[in-house]
Amino acid sequence: MLDKGQGARRLESYVQGAWRAGAGEGKPLADAATGETHALISSDGLDFAGALDWGRETGGAALRRLTIHERALMLRAIGQKLMEMKDEFHAESLVTGATPKDAWPDIEGGIGTMLTFASKARRELPNTKVLTEGAVEGLSRDGSFLGQHILTPLRGVAIHINAFNFPVWGMLEKIAPALIAGMPCLVKPASQTAYLTELVVRRMLAMDILPDGALQLVCGGVGDLLDHVDGQDVVTFTGSAATGQKLRSHPAIVANSVRFTMEADSLNASILGPDAGPGTPEFDLFVKEVQREMTSKAGQKCTAIRRVLVPVQHEAAVIEALSALLAKTAVGLPGDANARMGALASQGDRDSVREKIAAIAREAEIVCGDPDRASVISGDAAKGAFLNPVLLRCADPMAASAPHEIEAFGPVATVMAYDGIDQAVALARKGKGSLVSSVFTNDPDVAAEAVLGVASFHGRVMIGNRDSAKSSTGHGSPLAPLVHGGPGRAGGGEEMGGMRGVKHFMQRTAVQGAPRLLSAVTGQWVQGAPVREDLHPFRKSLAELRIGDRIVTGRRVVTEDDVEHFARFTGDTFYAHMDSAAAKANPFFEDRVAHGYLIASFAAGLFVEPSPGPVLANYGVDNLRFLTPVYFGDSLQVQLTCKEINPRENAVYGEVRWDCRVSNQNDEVVAQYDVLTMVAKEWPVRES
Ligand code: NDP
């Protein structure tokens, strides 16, 4: 029985700019390991429609006034401060049943994910309010009608409904890309562990970095919130398939085509390659990985290994080695330094896992562990939600269904033997879509066959072998730069994946129009848009430089001597530059041609303004193409046009992208590329 929670913390929601308590006593939330009431939760009586309006009108407008880099810098500042507070979060996290080691991916992992997004956004996205995507498409012969994809933030609220198992990471990995995109967020953590999310949100809001309305929190049920969503809102959901399906078919979500991202039950498989028998490093790595995945966070991880697929000839050896490791797993109070595994999140969760083990056991036998009797090194086995690891073995996995369909969300997995890699792939696919799979092999053919066989059923596949044993991030870790989500049973959603995760919260729009008007929309110069040819653009700091500023250079004739000299100087004596007969035999050339890099070098010599000035450095070129051969006697000329300007926040410079076209005496473009430079905001540079 839960006590009434005398002295328990009363959780509040942060909506419409204030912390608000729900009506009534609130539902008691128990400490996972002791059963004592830790907090009370209620969102009854909150104005959910008002919260959405507040987010859209106040938060959205404020975020859209900022550039992508400004938003990313806010997250960096928040992430750095949160990291300094991590001890406080770890102390609260013990209540969830997780050991400090198990809480690391949630707390440090969550904050780290936010910081990664903040840093990647500033490195990979421009410092603008609108993004462009892909090349400018010419839609008319004369270049007067062009098309370009742009991305702008959706004007609604990103509602994140999270599961109980990652109260910190689950929030931060979702709000980071949404806020960078310019969408305000409303987070609804699972009630069971909402006290930790609430604490982190309190600390974030107290920093006073985010604009009003950018982040709201609902502790408790969502009431009529979903009745008020519209087509500019996004709903992301992590939890059980049953709830996810119910929410996905909510009338307002269906009627308004609300973007709905779902991450649900996932029967992740790990495959031991036929080559990886006992005595190989891959066998040992596999056994350790399965044990780690089963026991970390007491198996309450959406990515945990549930199905252990092993070659029939190695099945007994795997069961023996794995059982030996699992039997040694010390279960106890999460704060006990000797405990390897803490408690499940609640008694209810443990009851549910037990029921699911029983259902799987109808088609499999338990080979290690006793689901009905917890053996602990500390704490009270009757009061805490403790469960020792349970390993099952299914004798006929091709015919069975329960081990492929029932996700026992705890320290539970089923070993299944396969005969031939095709069968391993077929078994993995019986999960009907999972977040992640892994293959442990040292054989490239097995790696290719297994990965390509299961790829379309998974959002991520990890290959484990001896070469990456030390550096591997492991089967179960979703990573900010890589996609997280899986098809089918896993929900069909996709999160993170680096900057593609940001774009999930933006609308992609194909814009068509004349160059001048398209350029005004995107803020980027396109061929055909107006140009200005006055002062050499390299003499202009960012204070004066504008897109469309251009220099058209004088001409330079390419001679045989130039090519011979360049060949000797660089050592590039490729026959097409040196041997007339051989060049003529080449289907692309009529005779010896100039080196492409000679053309690019001459181009730099033509467009450069050599004296010290606001252009600080050239950091590369993008999309370099040599389009027409250059023969001896051809005369080169360069058009260099300022295409994109990205001032850096907190720096004395910005990045400038120049459209560079090198043409010959017949006005044929012989080379085209983007030159990338760093240009001072003011010249002379004034250090702040
Ligand atoms: P639930 O599906 O019950 O809850 C997930 C989230 O949805 C919670 O925030 C919950 O809030 C909320 N929710 C529940 N009902 C509604 C509703 N009608 N309207 C709006 N929101 C709602 O999952 P749990 O977190 O309790 O986990 C249950 C099971 O789901 C696990 O045992 C596991 O099998 C699976 N799971 C799978 C995950 C995966 O990614 N593979 C991750 C986590 C869980 P509240 O808590 O307040 O009810």
Q: For 201, phi and psi rounded to 5 degrees?
A: -65, -40
Residue 263 has pLDDT above 90, yes or no: yes
Element (H, E) at 324: helix 315-327
Position 686 scores a pLDDT of 78
Read off the pLDDT of each residue in 509-520 and give the average, rounded to a whole number: 98
Q: What is the DSSP letter of 225?
A: G
Rounded Cα distance, 152 and 508, in Å: 7
**pLDDT for 337-356, tens place per residue?**
999 999 999 999 999 999 99
Residue whose CA lies nearest to ligand 1 atom number 5: 239
Hey, CA dihedral for 147, 152, 156, 161, is it positive or negative? positive
164 and 273: one domain? no
- CA-nearest residue, atom 15 of ligand 1: 243
Q: E strand or H helix at 78, and its extent?
A: helix 68-84
Residue at 596 is within a domain:
yes
Strand partners, 550: 641
604 has a pLDDT exceeding 90: yes
Which SS3 state, helix, strand or coil, does residue 628 take? coil
| CA 222 – CA 336 distance, rounded (Å) | 36
List strand residue ranges (DSSP E) for 369-419, in order: 390-394, 412-418
User: How far does the centroid of ligand 1 lie from the alpha carbon of residue 191, in Å?
Assistant: 9
Residues 453/459, Cβ–Cβ less than 8 Å: no
Q: How far is the CA of 193 from the centre of ligand 1 (A)?
A: 11
Residues 55 and 70 in one domain: yes
Active site amino acids:
263, 302
For 563-601, how does the pLDDT look when each residue is reduced to its tens digit (9 = 90+)?
999 999 999 999 999 999 999 999 999 999 999 999 999
The one-character DSSP state at 195 is H
Reported ipTM: 0.94
Q: Does one domain contain both 252 and 346?
A: no
Residue 687 domain-assigned (yes or no): no
The answer, yes or no, to whether residue 173 has pLDDT greater than 70, is: yes
Asked if residue 688 has pLDDT above 90, the reply is no
Atom number in ligand 1 closest to CA 244: 2
* SS3 state at 88: helix
* 343 shares its domain with 245: no
Contact by Cβ (8 Å): 475, 324: no
User: What integer pLDDT is reported at residue 6 of this predicted model?
Assistant: 64
Nearest CA to ligand 1 atom 22: 243
Least confident residue range of 4-18, 205-219, 637-651, 669-683:
4-18
Assess whether 440 and 544 both reside in one domain: no
Same domain, 257 and 279: no
140 shares a domain with 18: yes
In terms of residue numbers, what domain contains 639? 531-680
The CATH number given to whatever domain includes residue 613 is: 3.10.129.10
Pocket of ligand 1 (CB under 6 A): 161-165, 188, 190-192, 221-222, 238-240, 243, 246-247, 263-266, 302, 352, 407, 409
From 222, 240, 306, mutation site for ligand 1 pocket: most ligand atoms within 8 A of C-beta:
240
CATH number at residue 84: 3.40.605.10
pLDDT in tens, 19-73: 999 999 999 999 999 999 999 999 999 999 999 999 999 999 999 999 999 999 9
Residue 277 to residue 435: CA distance in whole angstroms: 26
Residue whose tokens read 């070129």:
621
Q: For residues 98 and 199, state if they share a domain.
A: yes
Work out the mean pLDDT of the chain and round it to a whole number: 96
How much of the chain, in percent, has pLDDT values that exceed 90?
97
Tell me how many domains the chain contains: 3
Q: Work out the pLDDT band at 7, boundaries 50, 70, 90.
A: confident
Q: Is the per-residue pLDDT at 80 higher than 90?
A: yes
Burial category of 208 from C-beta neighbours within 10 Å (exposed 0-12, middle 13-18, buried 19 and up): exposed
Phi, psi (degrees; rounded to nearest 5) at 409:
-85, 70
Q: Is the pLDDT of residue 258 over 80?
A: yes
Task: Say whether both 483 and 591 belong to one domain.
Answer: no
Residue 357 domain-assigned (yes or no): yes
Ligand 1 geometric centre to CA of 163 (Å): 5
